Amino acid sequence: MVLYGLTARRLDDYGESPKPTGMESPIKLRLKWLRPYALRLCGAVVAAVLVWWWTTWPVAGVVAGLLVWWGQALFGPDTAGRAAVEKAEAVAAWSESLSGTVAAGLGLSQALAAVAQAAPPEIENECRSLARDLDGGMSLDRALRTFAGTVDDETCTEAVHALIRAHQRSGDLAALLDRLAATARENAALRMDVIASRARVRTASRLISVTALALIALTVASGPDFLANYDGLSGQILLALVLGLFGLSLAWLERMGRWQQPASLIDLGEAP
């Protein structure tokens, strides 16, 4: 029930919750979205209980539970970075499709509506929302600005900025879209290089963590008398301090290897 309440506000965010398919009820959708969190919670509780029972140290149990809960972020793949690359590639594919549609003789508004029917999965919902806005009578400039804000990607913002300027002035729109697609491909390649460089930091954090945890486990298993001073209250406080510093170091390493969305250099402003 606590998880249900904490996650209720995210159900409308398709970036975080499952997309509704078929006739699935809201309860089934909620349970499907909560399942990985429930598994993580169960794993954290089991790890905390086992480590507490093995070491008789409550602090070690709590730290083990937290390590299991945050293990995906600390030791898992860089899903945010790969998602950013996939989004840039999706914008490139969208620009290429838009270029071909415009070259066939359609206007920009009609081309945007046509491309939305076969948009890349990463931006499919946003493209269809753009088509609905245009079909509902919204101005092209305002619809494109809304689209860029929903996609929330620098590559898409650059493409929308160029489309708005091209719509306001005459020019070869198809050639512009080809250049936008090429630029988006280059941005995706640059992002992949950044992810590859940060992957070394994540690998180093995994090696450091595994080595330290293995040494601690061997020490606990082979030399319990050596760690007897940690059994008392003062020992637990000292252990909490040491493990807390270790956790802060892991969090620092994880932050160094995490993909962060760069700040947008283009302000689209308000639609007229």
- Report residue 69 as tokens: 């809960």
Report how far residue 101's alpha carbon sits from residue 93's, in angstroms, rounded to the nearest whole number. Answer: 12
State mean pLDDT over 79-101: 81
Task: Evaluate if residue 23 carries a pLDDT over 60.
Answer: no
Per-residue pLDDT, 152: 81
Virtual CA dihedral for 122, 124, 129, 132, nearest 10 degrees?
160
Task: Give the orientation angle of helix 154-168 with respect to helix 108-115, to 10 degrees.
Answer: 150
Per-residue pLDDT, 266: 55
With cut-offs at 50, 70 and 90, classify the pLDDT of residue 264: low
List all residues 6 or more positions away from 68 whose beta carbon is below 8 Å from its beta carbon: 40, 43, 44, 47, 48
CATH numeric code, 80-191 = 1.20.81
Q: What percent of the chain has pLDDT over 90?
A: 0
Report how far residue 5's alpha carbon sits from residue 25's, in angstroms, rounded to the nearest whole number. Answer: 17
pTM for this prediction = 0.61
With cut-offs at 50, 70 and 90, classify the pLDDT of residue 247: confident
Q: How far is CA 23 from the centre of its chain?
A: 28
pLDDT digits (tens, 9 = 90+) for 154-210: 888 888 888 887 777 766 677 777 787 788 788 778 878 877 777 777 777 778 878
Query: Which residue type is seen at 75?
Result: F
Per-residue pLDDT, 12: 43
Q: What average pLDDT does the chain have?
A: 76
- Scored b (16 or more CB within 10 A) or e, 107-118 reads ebbebbbbbbee
pLDDT digits (tens, 9 = 90+) for 201-215: 777 777 887 888 788
Cβ proximity of 138 and 122 under 8 Å: no
Task: Evaluate if residue 245 carries a pLDDT over 80.
Answer: yes
Per-residue pLDDT, 146: 86
Cβ proximity of 53 and 78 under 8 Å: no
Nearest Cα to Cα of residue 113 among 92, 127, 97: 127
Task: Evaluate if residue 69 carries a pLDDT over 70.
Answer: yes
Cβ proximity of 149 and 116 under 8 Å: no
Per-residue pLDDT, 64: 86
With cut-offs at 50, 70 and 90, classify the pLDDT of residue 32: low
Per-residue pLDDT, 159: 82
Report how far residue 141's alpha carbon sits from residue 112's, in angstroms, rounded to the nearest whole number. Answer: 12
Report how far residue 102's alpha carbon sits from residue 120's, in angstroms, rounded to the nearest whole number. Answer: 18
Q: Break the chain into its structural domains and give their ranges.
A: 1-69, 80-191
Per-residue pLDDT, 191: 78
Per-residue pLDDT, 19: 46
Per-residue pLDDT, 192: 80
